[in-house]
Chain A
């Protein structure tokens, strides 16, 4: 154990993980501008439960009273559905805070890097419903 711990600590062992974070990284790096961070508070008008990225539509009131219509990109909603969330989990009128980055083309779109309620609670935390262990049990792997 000490041997492996040393190896891991030394090597920073996060293995180029299985493909998906790479997908997200490439796509998001292509869509959003790291030099344009945004922080918005707004009212949800609609949530599109589409894959692989959900989109939350937000009305953001500016200090001068104008309302900007933003679209915020999230992850796959199916992960949320598996945990018991539904289309009624984020109803129009819900106020949320978005911490993220704006689209490269300057439009009112951003990625929802961190989505919270105004009190700081994460948006879709809790409610783990499925009970399916993700532990790849294979007691008889070599059996044919």
Chain B
């Protein structure tokens, strides 16, 4: 447990030493500091903590990583952003029927089911990743790359069993809920609750209520691993800092493993805006920590129930489909050239 504490100090140190940042601030905020001119005092709960409560929507079409074509370009102008939005929506529009039947299957269903947002984030930054400053996630360490490739290889084959599919297809964890949370194609909704000593993060996908104690208690023992890890919170001025460890080795956040360490920061930046940042620290997976940030917008809600496992026909179909593929392959082999 003490090594985890040191690791988190290391994260803070790394973040504060990264180019241009100030300790506790988002790196790459350099050119955005003009926004800091507008100060806003958050409302407080009756027991004096900043009030982060509400239902928040984090859909955005800004990508996690800066596209290679935009290398060196931190921010879009208003016109560029608007054009980018329009082009993305056209290219992403699932009501398109071009591209052949495989693409057609992959586009899955009509536009009216999707909810990935229609706008880039307000700062028009070209990536959600803010550190490294190039907006790209650092490379995977060699062992992690091998693990990732092995997983990808398994995913390409017909599934031998449910464990071969990812955690959201198994209805164990929501794809966008993390931690950390990342904007996805739908259900980008989360509700925060606060009571003395606790913050609870209720993600719509998959009905997961992450209870974050604020009383300074230690993390669970290192041999207790959980799908969504184990979260502990504290306040740093007006920012809620949530530290999560104790992930399992099947956690597959972008290639991470059981040593994943997530530090999230929640700051109420306006009446309708919650700023969310996260730092990923997993030296067994990435060569250095990295961070991303994006705002969440208040939304009327409510959070709807997400009965995933209860109706997971999809897994059934994936497995029967895999058995059908196996059978087809066997028959092809029998008839095959010999």
Contact = CB atoms under 8 A, between A and B. Distances in A.
B176 A20 contact: yes
Given A26-B155, A134-B119, A139-B122, A19 B182 contact: yes
Interface residues of B, number: 112
Interface residues of A, number: 80
Nearest to A133: B297
B198 interface: no
Nearest to A1: B79
B258 interface: no
Interface stretch (B8-16, B212-220, B222-230, B266-274): B266-274
B159 A21 contact: no
Contact of A55 (B176, B184, B313): B313
A75 B109 contact: yes
A123 B112 CA distance: 9
B7 interface: no
A16 B320 CA distance: 28
Interface string B127-140: 00000000000000
A37 B60 CA distance: 32
Interface string B300-338: 100011111011011001101111110000000000000
A126 B254 CA distance: 36
Given A8-B69, A134-B117, A23 B166 contact: yes
Nearest to B327: A105
Contacts of A5: 83
A18 B60 CA distance: 9
12 contacts: A20-B176, A35-B101, A37-B101, A52-B186, A79-B113, A109-B317, A113-B109, A131-B300, A137-B270, A140-B35, A141-B122, A141-B295
Nearest to B104: A113
B298 A136 contact: no
Given A5-B83, A17-B61, A140-B38, A73 B313 contact: yes
Contact of A134 (B60, B238, B267, B318): B60
B265 to A, nearest CB: 9
B308 A52 contact: yes
A138 B121 contact: yes
Interface string B254-267: 00000000000001
Given A29-B102, A109-B313, 9 more contacts: A4-B73, A21-B106, A23-B168, A75-B109, A76-B187, A105-B320, A130-B300, A136-B295, A137-B122
A21 B59 CA distance: 13
Contact of A142 (B36, B77, B204, B324): B36
A132 B57 contact: yes
B327 to A, nearest CB: 9
B306 A24 contact: no
A82 B182 CA distance: 20
B149 interface: no
B94 to A, nearest CB: 8
B289 interface: no
B124 to A, nearest CB: 10
Interface string B94-119: 01010011101111111011111111
Nearest to A71: B313
